[in-house]
Amino acid sequence: MITLNKIDLDQISLAYNSSLEKISGRIILCAGTACVANGAYKIRDRFLEVARAKELSISMEIQKENSGDYYLSKSGCQGFCQMGPLVTILPANILYTRVKPEDVEEIIDKTIIKGELVERLVYKAPGKETLCPTPKEIDFYKKQRRFVLKDCGIVDPEDIQEYISRGGYKNAEKVLKKMEPEEVCQEILEAGLRGRGGGGFPTGRKWALTLKEKSNKKYVICNGDEGDPGAFMDRSVMEGNPHSVIEGMIIAAKAIGADEGYVYVRAEYPLAVARMKKAVNDAESLGLLGNGIFNSDFNFKLHVMEGAGAFVCGEETALISSIEGKRGMPSPKPPYPAQKGLWGKPTVINNVETLATIPLIMNMGHAEFRKIGTENSPGTKTFAVTGHVANTGLIEVPFGTTLREIIMEIAGGVTDNNGNIDNSKFKAVQIGGPSGGCLTAEHLDMPLDFDSLKSVGAMVGSGGLVVMNEDTCMVKIAAYFMQFTQNESCGKCVLCREGTKQMLNLLNDITKGKADHNTLILLDELAEAVKAGSLCALGKTAPSPVLSTISQFKEEYRAHVEDKKCPSGNCKDLLEYKIVPELCKGCRLCAKKCPSGAITGNLKEAHIINTEICTKCGICFDTCKFKAIVKE
């Protein structure tokens, strides 16, 4: 690593790019959490093993002298999680999907040595035979606007020199040397950047409020405590481009007059923790953190702290309490963190994606940034798309993109329970996690931005999108999210602590056939009370999935309560299994599998199910080869 007493970003960039130009090609291995879990490092080791056997020079480092014909590097999450592990071959930009260690030798023989495709590893859209060898040919990528995530699938997250070679830290240098704090705040304010953590508060205004506070000590905190079920946007940015977060924090520190900061990361994100810590250490070794940054009088010390995994610590004041060594519990506001934050000092708290956006805005200028997205929600938003879609993964689109574009085009369409694409089976999408709301087919063409979602009782949240097909029970979905928030309640507020528990009990009564009309009335009243009386955003938004599903799926709730039926067939206590005599062949397979002996009948004659002793386990339904057993 190049280390200079007086940091010279241009010199580092020139040296790195000069070395990069000498290699014959590059192999980029996706090493985000999902691909690592699926064996990415075994693939890396196999590349080196096969290369040695074939006397092919492959280096894992970029050095002044060309040490290898090919450079084998890792990247952060490339987003296409459904198709991982991913391997990219440059300069042809060939993307191979679902790669296994046993595929490596063929990749080397055909692609690296002969320049040919390994067709079986090339992506094909579901139901189509056209090969899509490069990302620009794949709908998942070509219909996105990768802005914050642009470098996450390219740069080695553990190589600070590569980040610098792509313009990294130049904007921090410009801000520290040429701009006053007021100018920085104004630039972000005019850019219209709103917090990407869920609240959507204008970032520039938050900074300006903290700047005007008089104090001998101020702090910047990066909120990496991403706890929504199915959400992994912030984790992927920290894993894939940690230096972008650090640079954003340096700029934020200059804007408010802070000299110390914390990156608060969930302990459940070990890869993000490790890469953030290495990035901080590398930045310190180059003089990009610490005292006299860029030979100026500006000092900024940065710490990485692991959170214990409490969802409530995503709330600003609870996060501050956690850093201070206290139990993570929210405090009443005002005073706001901008006035009295960490250890009583003015503090700015921004989430990972917000901070990673800052250097990009400073580079392009607020006017160019505002050309992306909508007037009141400029820029892009990352979303983690999961559930019943062909391609789950991490995406980034401009604000104003519709659900239809995300689900039907980028994510490849809605799937049935057998994995077949059938967009007619779309039922709903939960957006914003346990704090968000439920959107239905009538919202498919609604532009997604902070204001439009708020108008229909939903929210952007941190960016989780859970897509559900028509076989999903919305009452159980509401109960799932209520169970989560009930477990995660810190217990400080009676309405949150006890109210969410009672709401969960009411939802469970509905799914078990124990509810009546008064249950729905009580559930609605209780939801409104918890929403109004809770101290922090966890409690105030906890009822959102319940209220939105009741609003959008009234008939489904009524079917559970009045008819004691679950239209989707998911509530076990409301199911009844029956055998259709005309379809039953009397094979006795279901009777042999039934654990309670509820199925009787003679061989080659139609059987019957004794519903009084049936445990509703569903084994008979799964076992029958003739589809003679139905749920009612």
Alpha-carbon distance 358 to 250, whole Å?
Answer: 10
417 φψ region: left (φ > 0), alpha (ψ -120 to 50), beta (else): alpha
CATH code of the region 380-472:
3.10.20.600
For residue 528, the cross-strand partners are: none
Q: Residue 605, Cβ neighbours under 10 Å: how many?
A: 12
**Of 269-278, 418-427, 451-460, 527-536, where does mean pLDDT reach its minimum?**
451-460
Q: What are phi and psi of 388, to 5 degrees?
A: -85, 70
The alpha helices in 388-536, defined as continuous H runs, are 403-404, 450-455, 474-488, 494-511, 517-533
Q: What are phi and psi of 21, to 5 degrees?
A: -70, -20
Could you say which DSSP state residue 220 is in? E
What pLDDT does residue 5 have? Answer: 44
If residue 359 lies in a helix (H) or strand (E), which one and from where to where?
A: helix 352-364
Which one of 1.10.3720.10, 3.40.30.10, 3.40.50.11900, 3.40.50.920 gives the CATH number of domain 9-134?
3.40.30.10
Closest CA to 235 of 246, 247, 226, 245: 226
**Of 171-175, 227-231, 328-332, 491-495, where does mean pLDDT reach its minimum?**
227-231
Q: Enumerate the CATH 3.40.50.11540 domain ranges in the chain, comma separated.
A: 167-369
242-256 vs 233-240: helix axis angle to the nearest 10?
Answer: 100
Q: Enumerate the CATH 1.20.1440.230 domain ranges in the chain, comma separated.
A: 475-562
Q: Per-residue pLDDT tens for 165-213?
A: 999 999 999 999 999 999 999 999 999 999 998 778 999 999 999 999 9
Which residues in 457-474 are b (16+ Cβ under 10 Å) and which e? Answer: ebbbbbbbbbbbbbebbb
- pLDDT for 7 beyond 80: no
Strand pairing category for 629-631 and 577-579: antiparallel
Alpha-carbon distance 33 to 269, whole Å?
Answer: 9
For residue 122, the cross-strand partners are: 96
Q: Residue 107, Cβ neighbours under 10 Å: how many?
A: 23
Alpha-carbon distance 383 to 232, whole Å?
Answer: 8
Q: What separation in angstroms does the CA of 234 have from each of 74, 269, 514?
A: 19, 10, 41
Q: What angle do CA 393, 395, 401 make, to 5 degrees?
A: 130
Q: Please indicate, yes or no, whether the overall pTM of this predicted structure exceeds 0.85.
A: yes
CATH topology of domain 167-369: Rossmann fold (3.40.50)
CATH topology of domain 475-562: de novo design (two linked rop proteins) (1.20.1440)
**333 against 378, higher pLDDT:** 378
At position 310, the amino acid (one-letter code) is: A
**171 against 126, higher pLDDT:** 171
Confidence band for 3, pLDDT divided at 50, 70 and 90? very low
Q: Residue 143, Cβ neighbours under 10 Å: how many?
A: 15
**Which residues are CB-neighbours of 42 under 8 A, at least 6 positions away?**
101
Confidence band for 1, pLDDT divided at 50, 70 and 90? very low
What pLDDT does residue 69 have? Answer: 83
116 close to 156: Cβ distance less than 8 angstroms: no
3-class secondary structure, 197:
coil
What pLDDT does residue 67 have? Answer: 57
Alpha-carbon distance 560 to 557, whole Å?
Answer: 5
3-class secondary structure, 57:
coil
Alpha-carbon distance 360 to 366, whole Å?
Answer: 10
Closest CA to 465 of 444, 495, 442: 444
Largest Cα separation within the chain, whole Å, is: 91
**Which residues are CB-neighbours of 455 under 8 A, at least 6 positions away?**
none
- pLDDT for 68 beyond 70: no
Specify the CATH architecture of the domain 575-631: 2-Layer Sandwich (3.30)
**Which residues are CB-neighbours of 278 under 8 A, at least 6 positions away?**
158, 242
Query: Average pLDDT of 75-104?
Result: 95
**Which residues are CB-neighbours of 459 under 8 A, at least 6 positions away?**
198, 200, 431, 432, 435, 436, 437, 450, 453, 541, 544
